Amino acid sequence: MNEETRPITKAASTPALSESEKNVIIGGVLLSMLLAALDQTIVAPAMPTIGKALGHADYLPWVVTGYLLTATAMAPLYGKISDVHGRRPTIFAAIIIFLVGSLVSALAPNMLVLIIGRAIQGLGGGGLFALSQTVIGDLVPPRERARYAAWISGTWAVASIAGPLLGGTFAEHFHWSLIFWINLPLGLVALAIISNPLKKLPVAARKHRIDVAGAALLIAATAILLLALNWGGSHYSWLSSTIIGLLGVSAVLWAMFGLRLRRAVEPLISLEVLGNPVVRYGTLSMFTAQAANVGLSVYLPVYMQSFHGLTAGGSGVAMLGLLLGAVVGATVSGRTIPRVKRYKMIAVAGALFSLICLTVLASLAGRSSLLVLEVLTIGAGFGTGLTFPVATISVQNAVDQAHLGVATGVLTFLRSLGGALGVAALGAIALGNGLPLGGESLQVASTAVGSAMPFAYIFLACAAAMALSLLVLYLMPEKPLRGRSENDIPAAIE
């Protein structure tokens, strides 16, 4: 073994954590994850008010895009940093950067400063997503980790529901800056909760070097790709020179990043991790499932308002079926995984069930009742919820402790990228069929939509993404889950 990557055994002397301390840490990191998740949903309802207050409303999309670009691009880098320097200082840095961004955003005197503040928030928020799951992976062996999947799904569900409600309420009845001020006490509470227990967190300390050049290439390639996906079809035509140029530059940077991974002495993402078939198929399944899930959540309210006469608020309530279905699915999956040997079949069955629900939804797009629609969306959410815990645990179970942060960071990165790509792809379908972009109009109920076919195409595209997820889950090798006393990674079950 190379001297630079030989493990240092001092972590073995770390004092053991009690179950109560583990629960405190998990509660603290989930609170930090809630902060980052809220900031993806809380801003949208307040954007008109922010535009009136700060001016330059034509730059409002950057308030969302700035956060998305930096949060997505930074996720895999945080995983590597935490593997090098430990979880506690890395998650502390992520929370502090996030809070600094929140402070800059709350005090912003103009739109430019607000966009800069949101980008700083994303620099920290991207780490909170990846590190929360990594810390849970440190504390709980894979065989028992599944039961925490419902907590993670519940955190996302709370953010999806509470974010728009809080954002709208603060902007309408108080001041828009409260959507950023609220992060400060919550973030400080999270720091106080996890500070002492995290000192006892065992870390497989290793002598590493951060590949700065590789990190710069990854961040630039991701940011430019997301920029093209965000602008394509809305600000510029997909075939415009601007979008084609951005995609071309991104492709070149991705090629350079791939070359860097092969040539670097210690690459940002270990080739051992990338070459692992469980990691490869598990992350791809998360990528495609998230593309379907996020895309559906964006365009389902438009469909509900157009064809079922719901108001914007009513469609938001109706969306609870999709969210709660995902939480219930994750809960069932988490409770079932430790009790069965062929746990991968849970995810395969979930992807198949979601695929069936989405296909039926597409076939009934113009003639389904609201009750049938709700049942189908609950079913689609439930099926997708079954897959996420299996994919996460399979990836974490497939790598050793020293690579846990990197593997989880890659998983989080592809999950976020899948959501962005899904929204962009469905946006192209919507624009090509004369529909408003998802979230573009709050008065969609009054928009004349002559045919349900555009929505049928959108639902079919979501079904196609779930079909791909089903395929890669089926191809993914299945390894027995390690328990508390098992340190070695067992061979794959082919």
Task: Check pLDDT > 60 for residue 118.
Answer: yes
28 and 164 fall within a common domain? yes
DSSP per-residue letters across 16-29: PPPHHHHHHHHHHH
Mean pLDDT of the chain: 77
- Give the Cα separation of 338 and 149 in Å (integer): 12
- Give the Cα separation of 331 and 247 in Å (integer): 39
Whether 9 maps to a domain, the answer reads no
- Give the Cα separation of 448 and 453 in Å (integer): 14
Domain's final residue, options 242, 267, 292? 267
Place of tokens 């956060």: 67
Q: What percent of the chain has pLDDT over 90?
A: 12
Residue 426 or 387, more confident: 387
Whether 383 maps to a domain, the answer reads yes
487 and 364 fall within a common domain? yes
**Average pLDDT over every residue of 99-120:** 89
- pLDDT for 189: 86
- pLDDT for 295: 77
The domain that holds 388 is classified in CATH as 1.20.1250.20
Whether 387 maps to a domain, the answer reads yes
At residue 232, the 3 state secondary structure works out as strand
At residue 154, the 3 state secondary structure works out as helix
Amino acid identity, position 429: I
At residue 149, the 3 state secondary structure works out as helix
> For residue range 227-258, what is the model confidence (pLDDT) as tens digits?
787 777 667 777 888 889 999 999 999 899 88
> For residue range 172-211, what is the model confidence (pLDDT) as tens digits?
778 888 888 888 988 888 888 877 777 766 555 555 666 7
| pLDDT bucket at 101, cuts 50 / 70 / 90 | very high
- pLDDT for 209: 66
Rg (CA), the chain: 22
105 and 42 fall within a common domain? yes
> For residue range 359-377, what is the model confidence (pLDDT) as tens digits?
999 888 877 788 888 899 8
Q: What percent of the chain has pLDDT over 70?
A: 80
Whether 39 maps to a domain, the answer reads yes
Cβ-Cβ contacts under 8 Å for 406 (sequence gap 6 or more):
76, 79, 80, 83, 269, 270, 273, 399
468 and 335 fall within a common domain? yes
Nearest to 393 by CA among 307, 335, 327: 335
101 and 244 fall within a common domain? no
216 and 315 fall within a common domain? no
Asked if 271 and 402 count as a contact pair (C-beta separation under 8 A), the reply is no
Whether 456 maps to a domain, the answer reads yes
- pLDDT for 99: 92
Whether 87 maps to a domain, the answer reads yes
217 and 306 fall within a common domain? no
- pLDDT for 327: 81
Nearest to 336 by CA among 94, 92, 144: 144
- The count of domains in the chain is 3
> For residue range 263-273, what is the model confidence (pLDDT) as tens digits?
877 777 777 77
Asked if 178 and 53 count as a contact pair (C-beta separation under 8 A), the reply is no
**Average pLDDT over every residue of 397-420:** 78
119 and 190 fall within a common domain? yes
The parent domain of residue 117 ranges over: 16-209
Q: What φ, ψ does residue 270 adopt, rounded to 5°?
A: -60, 135
- Give the Cα separation of 329 and 235 in Å (integer): 37
386 and 434 fall within a common domain? yes
| pLDDT bucket at 4, cuts 50 / 70 / 90 | very low
Whether 3 maps to a domain, the answer reads no
Residue 290 or 149, more confident: 290
Whether 10 maps to a domain, the answer reads no
Residue 161 or 280, more confident: 280
DSSP 8-state secondary structure symbol assigned to residue 341 = S
Task: Check pLDDT > 90 for residue 134.
Answer: no
**Average pLDDT over every residue of 89-118:** 89
- pLDDT for 302: 74
- pLDDT for 18: 67
Nearest to 481 by CA among 331, 346, 295: 346
224 and 313 fall within a common domain? no
pTM of the model: 0.74
Asked if 282 and 476 count as a contact pair (C-beta separation under 8 A), the reply is yes
Burial status of residue 132 (CB atoms within 10 A of its CB: 0-12, 13-18, 19 or more): buried
Domain's final residue, options 175, 193, 209? 209
352 and 297 fall within a common domain? yes
Cβ-Cβ contacts under 8 Å for 388 (sequence gap 6 or more):
149, 153, 286, 289, 326, 330, 333
137 and 88 fall within a common domain? yes
